[in-house]
Chains A and B, each alone.
Chain A
Amino acid sequence: QKEVEQDPGPLSVPEGAIVSLNCTYSNSAFQYFMWYRQYSRKGPELLMYTYSSGNKEDGRFTAQVDKSSKYISLFIRDSQPSDSATYLCAMVNTGGFKTIFGAGTRLFVKA
């Protein structure tokens, strides 16, 4: 079993839809949770970062962590074609030792 599981998609939604991207994990030592966005032919870039459980909002993006269920989510409101990219979840254990990345979910937002 992988430490981090992420549905690769692809996920296709119409413009303006609410998008939900999810990851599950098995290691309870993970304390830092990130979402990276990767456009085609580009390197991943940090989108959101949260520590421990709870929600964090940044504009149209909300990151949610449920440590009891070992489940994290990224919500995108009012999705735009420019949001079309691959979204990778990432997790780091206590002490920031090393990051484990999910495989990435490919998102298409249709105009």
Chain B
Amino acid sequence: DADVTQTPRNRITKTGKRIMLECSQTKGHDRMYWYRQDPGLGLRLIYYSFDVKDINKGEISDGYSVSRQAQAKFSLSLESAIPNQTALYFCATGTSDTDTQYFGPGTRLTVL
């Protein structure tokens, strides 16, 4: 089984809808991350969490929220989706010493 899983893998939604992307990990890492990836822009950090009670905004948090339900689970929500949130979203875990990161397979989100 994969160490970092994301659901759903693909999602098409309409403008204004609320959606949630979920991430689970079995690596036992305290750190978890949400990124979006757009062509030519690389990985951009949305939110990160260094433990269950720690949530921090990344460089592009506007329009997103997160919930860290447990050490192993970190969800990303789009409260009211808009078309420019169409992107590939990755969840990752990180080691506490060097922040070596392990990525999930990604969720391809399309907002119409």
* B110 in contact (CB, < 8 A): no
Counting chain B residues whose Cβ lies within 8 A of the other chain, the interface size class is: 20 to 34
**Total CB contacts across the A-B interface at under 8 A:** 51
* B54 in contact (CB, < 8 A): no
Contacts of B4 in A (CB 8 A): 43
Contacts of B95 in A (CB 8 A): 96
Assembly CA distance A22 to B42 (angstroms): 15
* A41 in contact (CB, < 8 A): yes
Assembly CA distance A96 to B100 (angstroms): 9
Pairwise interchain contact B40-A8, C-beta atoms closer than 8 A: yes
Contact with A along B48-63 (1 / 0, CB 8 A): 1000000000000000
Q: Which chain B residues in 34-78 approach chain A with CB under 8 Å?
A: 40-43, 48
Contacts of B41 in A (CB 8 A): 103
Contacts of A88 in B (CB 8 A): 42-43
Q: Which residues of B contact A (CB under 8 A)?
A: 4, 40-43, 48, 90, 92, 94-106
